Amino acid sequence: MNQKYILDIIYLIASVTFVIGLKMLSNPQTARRGNLWAAFGMTLAVVGTIVMHDTVSPVIYALILGAIAVGTVIGWITAKRVKMTAMPELVSLFNGMGGACAALISLLEFHHNVGQPGRVGIIMAGMIIGSVSFSGSIIAFMKLNGTLKKSIRLPHYNMINTVLMFVTIAAGVFLTVSGSESIGLLLGVFALALVYGVFFVAPIGGADMPVVISLLNSFTGLAAAFGGFLYNNQVMLTGGILVGSAGTLLTLAMCTAMNRPLFNVIFGAFGETAATTGGSKTGGTIKDISISDAAVLMNYSKKVIIVPGYGLAVAQAQHVIHELEKLLEERGVDVKYAIHPVAGRMPGHMNVLLAESNVDYSKLAEMEEVNPEFSNTDVVLVVGANDVVNPAAKNDSSSPIYGMPILEVENSHHIIINKRSMNAGYAGIDNELFYNPKTSMLFGDAKDALTKLVTELKTL
Amino acid sequence: MSSILAFLGENIQMIYIVILSIFVGVEVISKVPSVLHTPLMSGANAIHGVVIVGSIIVMLNTEPENILLLSLGFVAVVLGTLNVVGGFVVTDRMLEMFKKKEKK
């Protein structure tokens, strides 16, 4: 009996470390320690669960430890090797693993609990949510790493999805209420939930993936919490619910930063309307700028602000841009980075990327603090960003991005925009900034163009 | 009706935990700067890996003869560990970079 009490105390400590860890994770100074605290609590909970349980067959211990060893080695190596730009898909993949784990637990617990509607209900909920999170995360992963390029939209996909969702839930409820022992039916619900996860994520555009991952993240939290309910296990419950609620809030925060209501993300209103109505076409003439002119312009400026975007991340140009910044600084130019909250592949991703290439933290300016500075800035260099600098968000109420907070680069003296081509950004809308008389376009791959710019600057 | 009431009554402590945890979760991250959205998501992702505890309990309660259940349980523990270890390590890698800059 003592063991049970000790385990309860271990779980209590672990739960507290999760809360403290999450709290510390929301402050840049303490974030790293917070993560370690949570990891410590997790280790404690896992070790406690094994050690404090009544002794079982050595085969079982060997299998558990073997599984943990396999998972640790693979997880550790993958996490250490992944490129920082590939972070979003990796988070998605790990999230899917958690969802699959929760779904498997439910599958395995079903036959122990047949005939107890309350418990079967919990098992069903855990299985459905876990499976949706698993298959959805895998689709999100494939979309982000480029395996799945197009958004797959069946005709009337919203209706199909809604029907599928209700069928899945109804099947789960039937299994709960009827007290059926049918393993076939159980596997049927499992399969339905997996298919729903695929259908749920497949129509959503790549740019909305961060929001989806964050949402699926809170789903997995919920699935873990149902597991906690099932076993009367407090650490699973607190951990799961914490992530569920914090994840939901984070999802909403991301939506706010992107000015995309969650409803539109899920039901895909964006992709459709943007492609057809697409805001007013601005038209006008575009001015090109050569590498050497751009280099000269920046070299003789007092103040340059760099606006990095998704394109920079895709082109892996974060190291070159740092080189450019250092070079300009050496020549007495004041250089800063203006970071839009959703710059990069997910909110905060750009900060991680620039941090990776050793850009000084104090050089990263957030939108609110940098916006008033543009009016006394000589040159703004926009690299691979489009929608976050589109004035239509302020001026054009018919634009799909109207109301999104933007970086007001049009207030500066010169704007150099590096883009691969004139293709519109992911919002699929034209950007009047390109036709602004103060704007010059520097076409080319971000890494390529910036490397040439650095070489050119060195000769000056 | 009475069965629902009984269910709630039996689990009332768990329900307290659920409700209070919801508020704690919201409270704890309510002031997070957007800079930290990515690491926070990744960190939270690692924390829900606590589901691994459930998969270990399944294994501990399975008879050593039940090969099918044991192998599924094995897979579940591997997946849960991947979630936990991968999640924490990747979060640490991200945050390590934030640290470097502070020294300057």
Rounded Cα–Cα distance for residues B101 and A243 (Å): 29
Rounded Cα–Cα distance for residues A333 and A418 (Å): 20
Answer yes or no: do A348 and B70 touch at CB < 8 A: no
pLDDT, tens digit (0-9, with 9 covering 90-100), for A146-181: 777 666 667 777 888 889 999 999 999 999 888 888
Window 62-101 of B: residues touching A by CB (8 A cutoff) are 62, 64, 69-70, 72-101
Which two three-digit tokens encode residue A211?
Answer: 């929001």
Answer yes or no: do B64 and A60 touch at CB < 8 A: yes
Predicted local distance difference test score (pLDDT) of residue B14: 87
Spatial neighbors of A93 by CB under 8 A, at least 6 apart, are A137, A138, A141, B86
Q: What is the DSSP string of A159-194?
A: HHHHHHHHHHHHHHHHHHHH----HHHHHHHHHHHH
Rounded Cα–Cα distance for residues A448 and A59 (Å): 57
CB distance A107 to A186 below 8 Å: yes
CB distance A392 to A402 below 8 Å: yes
Average pLDDT over residues A257-270: 70
Closest CA to B58 of A193, A11, A112: A112
- pLDDT above 90 as % of chain B: 52
Contact list in B for residue A16 (CB cut-off 8 A) is none
Single pTM value for the model: 0.83
pLDDT at A69 over 90: yes
- Secondary structure letter of residue A413 according to DSSP: S
**CB proximity B15 to A under 8 Å:** no
Rounded Cα–Cα distance for residues A15 and A376 (Å): 50
- In chain B, the N- to C-terminal Cα span, in Å, equals 64
The residue type found at A230 is L
pLDDT at A39 over 80: yes
Average pLDDT over residues A21-42: 92
Answer yes or no: do A351 and B35 touch at CB < 8 A: yes
Residues of A that are catalytic: 387
Answer yes or no: do A75 and B83 touch at CB < 8 A: yes
pLDDT, tens digit (0-9, with 9 covering 90-100), for B6-61: 878 888 888 999 999 999 999 888 877 777 888 889 999 999 999 999 999 999 99
Q: Could you give the angle at which helices A209-231 and B51-60 cross, rounded to 10 degrees?
A: 40
Q: How far is A6 from chain B (nearest CA, A)?
A: 16
CB distance B51 to A41 below 8 Å: no
Adjacency order of strands within the sheet including A414-419:
A364-366, A334-339, A303-308, A379-383, A414-419, A439-443
Q: What is the DSSP string of A117-164?
A: HHHHHHHHHHHHHHHHHHHHHHHHHHHHTTSS-SPP--TTHHHHHHHH
Q: Is the dihedral of CA A319, A321, A324, A325 positive or negative?
A: negative
Which chain A residue shows the shortest CA-CA distance from B18? A241
Predicted local distance difference test score (pLDDT) of residue B85: 96
Predicted local distance difference test score (pLDDT) of residue A254: 79
pLDDT, tens digit (0-9, with 9 covering 90-100), for A298-317: 988 999 999 998 788 778 88
Q: What is the DSSP string of A368-394?
A: HHHGGGGGG-SEEEEES--GGG-THHH
Residue with tokens 């968000």: A393
Rounded Cα–Cα distance for residues A333 and A326 (Å): 9
CB distance A176 to A117 below 8 Å: yes
Answer yes or no: do B101 and A355 touch at CB < 8 A: yes
